[in-house]
A and B are shown apart, each in its own frame.
Chain A
Amino acid sequence: GAGVSQSPSNKVTEKGKDVELRCDPISGHTALYWYRQSLGQGLEFLIYFQGNSAPDKSGLPSDRFSAERTGGSVSTLTIQRTQQEDSAVYLCASSRDRGNNQPQHFGDGTRLSIL
């Protein structure tokens, strides 16, 4: 497709379960970013990928969070042993490269609800 695609669009799970969120960036975009949007914290950066490597993981809130990217394309964000405070909308964005004048294009997000 032409835009950034994220799946699932909604995920409801029980506390303590693991979840995987998927992001399919725009074709040819080398830079990929994960952000989290929550009522109390606004929009927060989580992790950045350039190709398959992640030079900046500084926004991951705990070691329960991890992410990978394969083939310079699809990325998955995994949250282990989910907690209620993990409930948020997880947004993925991609850009042509990491240059600071490059706009980031966002997916519609995955709304995660932890019961």
Chain B
Amino acid sequence: GDSVTQMEGPVTLSEEAFLTINCTYTATGYPSLFWYVQYPGEGLQLLLKATKADDKGSNKGFEATYRKETTSFHLEKGSVQVSDSAVYFCALNAGGTSYGKLTFGQGTILTVHP
């Protein structure tokens, strides 16, 4: 079945450090890939998406590239801020008979210190 694996957390960084959160997936067909973010006390928000191979999603300084050859969708940001502290979820939508449901990774807690 479909699955998403994220790097183990928590991740702790200093402000202005470079961030990478690894995400790999297993899916049949051609899934769309998403990163969602959950800030403390808030609901899940879409951060970025990519719908086909080699697409790059970007938002708020975050980027992720859909790599079909390595089945990966790693999240990166060049300079993190304290306000980026949150839980980050990688997810896929395999479409077709999956009816559009999202399959999530386990989440990665990011803490950024001043």
Contact = CB atoms under 8 A, between A and B. Distances in A.
Contacts of A107: 43
Contacts, number: 66
Interface in A20-47: 31, 33, 35, 42-43, 45
Leading 6 A-B pairs by shortest Cβ distance: A100-B95, A98-B100, A43-B104, A108-B43, A106-B44, A101-B51
A8 interface: no
A66 to B, nearest CB: 18
B99 A103 contact: no
Interface string A100-114: 111111111100000
Contacts of A95: 100
Which of A35, A55, A103 neighbours the largest number of chain B CB atoms within 10 Å of its CB? A103
Nearest to A50: B99
Contacts of A97: 100
Contacts of A79: none
Interface in A67-106: 91, 93, 95, 97-106
Which of B32, B42, B101, B105 neighbours the largest number of chain A CB atoms within 10 Å of its CB? B101
Interface in B48-82: 49, 51
